[in-house]
């Protein structure tokens, strides 16, 4: 039986590891085994730091609803994009990083070739149908040698994967529940975004796509 299982494991491994660029990979279904505890913990975080709409520094409302956990959280308003120690809505520190979140991010980064990734921030985005994220780079973090780990839960989405310049060709990468994308090294400043989420109902999250983005901000 052991012999019979081996080719299957190899096959699954190959299928679930899709390189996007040097330093960037889609780990298909990597988070799926933890879907229930992840969503349970997510529910608890949303009780202490509820999702809220943020505005871009230009003053435009973002279509996603956002919150954070970790020792710092990501905030956007007319003063700009930044990380804060305190949730400006509550005046309290952001909820701590749950050990399962931390473990998942570290393991995914390791699988993608980034050993010892220790995130201090998890940005949580909620996409209702039609919510989207326009093309951007993640450059609010202090030390860009750390990768970004992005976990998709709930409704599917289409990830936009561009290049190092805004005008570079953009690929469309379908992301489903449990997929994890890791980008770092030469891919760390790749332009990326999310197409509008299509109306549907997911058995675990309903009319919602959640994205957890783990960073080392400081």
Q: For ligand MD6, which residue has the nearest CB?
A: 211
Q: Does 138 bind Fe ion (CB under 5 A)?
A: yes
Choose between 36 and 139: whose C-beta lies nearer to ligand MD6: 139
For ligand MD6, which residue of 67, 68, 190, 213 counts as binding (CB under 6 A)?
213
Which of 67, 68, 102, 125 touches ligand MD6 by CB under 6 A?
125
- Nearest residue to the partner Fe ion, using Cβ: 138
User: CB-wise, 87 or 138, nearer to ligand MD6?
Assistant: 138
| 29/176 Cα distance (integer angstroms) | 8
* CB proximity list for 51: less than 8 A, separation 6 or greater: 65, 66, 67, 124, 126
197 touches ligand MD6 (CB under 6 A): no
- Selected range binding Fe ion among 36-44, 66-74, 89-97, 133-141, rule: CB under 5 A: 133-141
Q: How far apart are CA 192 and CA 166, in angstroms?
A: 9
Integer angstrom CA distances of residue 166 from 90, 210, 214: 36, 25, 23
Q: Order of strands, edge to edge, in the sheet holding 192-194?
A: 133-136, 192-194, 157-161, 171-175
* Residue 211 binds which entry of Fe ion, ligand MD6, none, CB below 5-8 Å type-dependent: ligand MD6
Among 31, 191, 211, 216, binds ligand MD6 (CB under 6 A): 211
Q: Which of 186, 209, 206, 184 is nearest to 196 (CA)?
A: 209
194 binds, among Fe ion, ligand MD6, none (CB under 5 to 8 A by kind): ligand MD6
**Closest C-alpha among 194, 137, 132 to residue 163:** 137
**Binding-residue total with ligand MD6 (CB under 6 A):** 10
Write out the H or E segment, with its range, that includes residue 36: helix 35-48
92 vs 166, beta carbon nearer Fe ion: 166
Residue 10 Cβ vs ligand MD6, minimum distance, rounded to whole Å? 30
State phi, psi for 62 to the nearest 5 degrees. -85, 145
Binding residues (CB under 5 A) for Fe ion: these are 138
By the criterion CB under 6 A, which residues form the site for ligand MD6?
74, 123, 125, 133, 138, 150, 192, 194, 211, 213
């Amino acid at each position: 039986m052991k012999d019979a299982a081996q080719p299957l494991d190899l096959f699954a491994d190959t299928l679930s590891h899709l390189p996007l660029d040097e330093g960037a990979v889609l780990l298909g279904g990597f988070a799926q085994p933890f879907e229930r505890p992840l969503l349970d913990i997510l529910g608890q975080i949303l009780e202490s730091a509820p999702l809220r709409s943020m505005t871009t520094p230009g003053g435009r409302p973002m279509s996603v609803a956002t919150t954070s956990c970790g020792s710092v959280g990501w905030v956007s308003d007319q003063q700009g994009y930044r990380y804060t120690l305190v949730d400006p809505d509550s005046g309290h520190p952001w909820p701590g990083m749950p050990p399962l979140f931390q473990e998942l991010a570290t393991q995914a980064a390791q699988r993608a070739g980034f050993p010892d990734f220790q995130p201090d921030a998890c940005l949580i985005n909620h996409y209702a149908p039609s919510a989207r994220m326009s093309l951007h780079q993640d450059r609010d973090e202090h030390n860009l040698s750390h990768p970004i780990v992005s976990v998709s839960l709930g409704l599917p989405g289409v990830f936009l994967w561009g290049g190092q310049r805004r005008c570079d060709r953009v690929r469309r990468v379908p992301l489903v529940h449990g997929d994890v994308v890791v980008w770092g090294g030469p891919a760390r400043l790749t332009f990326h975004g999310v197409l509008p989420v299509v109306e549907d109902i997911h058995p675990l999250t309903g009319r919602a796509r959640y994205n957890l983005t783990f960073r080392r901000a400081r």
